[in-house]
């Protein structure tokens, strides 16, 4: 018999993941971002790897990668599918890996943090990267009608949206050189790619 905390975590995970979309759908739109990590100086970490869609893309491209997620169900699913993933809090993981990562991919993570914590998370990403390390952030495009009207709020833990202009400003202030940014209409997202200068 499971404890009330375990039961709650399982229910929360099921509700929060219910609207993510199938693994195949997420993989089909995220795999294009793997190209930005070509030539990255070390381990690529998918922070908030979820069910492992981007990990699959990294594995297929032959990258040295690791998935990190705080949801035990997601990690179990990744490992069941033969993907390399570990259970950890993202911010704690970053603090433990300062100046050691070649790249960080964060899809649909930052919107789960209030403003100051989101900015702190981006600074921690910068600090965890090796020189020339790459950070990619993808988040829902709140300007897209279906996103702000309904889809954004289907996630139990979404706190606020982060427009691409905010991301550009934050990346610049932190010290990233922005390689690419804009709207990704394949999934109703905005994205930004930065290199640690």
CATH superfamily to which 40-196 belongs: Vaccinia Virus protein VP39 (3.40.50.150)
Among candidates 70, 68, 71, 93, which has minimal Cα distance to 83? 68
Q: Which helix (H) or strand (E) holds 146?
A: helix 145-149
**Is the pLDDT reported for residue 121 higher than 70?**
yes
136-173 tens-digit pLDDT: 999 988 776 665 556 666 667 778 989 999 999 999 99
Q: What percent of the chain has pLDDT over 70?
A: 90
Mean pLDDT (the chain, rounded): 91
Domain boundaries, the chain: 40-196
Indicate the pLDDT class of residue 21, thresholds 50, 70 and 90: low
- Determine the pLDDT at residue 145: 60
In this prediction the pTM is: 0.89
pLDDT-based confidence at residue 111 (cuts at 50, 70, 90): very high
Instruction: Give the Cα separation of 12 and 43 in Å (integer).
Output: 30
Distance CA 191, CA 184 (A): 7
Token pair 């960080």: residue: 104
| 14 vs 32, higher pLDDT | 32
Q: Which residue has the higher pLDDT, 17 or 135?
A: 135
pLDDT of residue 151: 66
Q: What pLDDT score does 1 carry?
A: 57
With beta carbons less than 8 A apart as the criterion, state whether 192 and 164 touch: yes
Task: Supply the pLDDT for residue 22.
Answer: 73
* Residue that wins the pLDDT comparison between 57 and 154: 57
Alpha carbon dihedral 91, 122, 32, 44, in 10-degree steps, equals -50
């Amino acid at each position: 018999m499971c404890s009330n905390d375990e039961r709650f975590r399982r229910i929360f995970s099921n509700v929060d993941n219910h609207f993510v979309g199938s693994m195949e759908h997420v993989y089909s739109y995220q795999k294009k971002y793997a190209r930005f990590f070509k030539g990255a100086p070390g381990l690529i970490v998918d922070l908030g790897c979820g069910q492992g869609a981007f990990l699959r893309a990294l594995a297929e491209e032959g990258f040295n990668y690791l998935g990190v997620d705080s949801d035990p169900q997601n990690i179990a699913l990744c490992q069941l599918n033969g993907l390399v993933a570990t259970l950890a809090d993202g911010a704690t993981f970053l603090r433990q890996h300062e100046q050691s990562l070649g790249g960080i991919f964060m899809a649909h993570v930052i919107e789960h943090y209030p403003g100051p914590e989101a900015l702190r998370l981006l600074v921690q990403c910068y600090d965890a990267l090796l020189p020339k390390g790459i950070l990619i952030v993808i988040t829902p495009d709140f300007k897209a009608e279906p996103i702000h009207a309904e889809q954004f709020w289907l996630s139990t833990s979404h706190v606020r949206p982060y427009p691409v202009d905010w991301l550009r400003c934050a990346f610049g202030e932190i010290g990233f050189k922005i390689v690419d940014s804009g709207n990704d209409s394949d999934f109703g997202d905005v994205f930004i790619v930065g290199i640690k200068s």
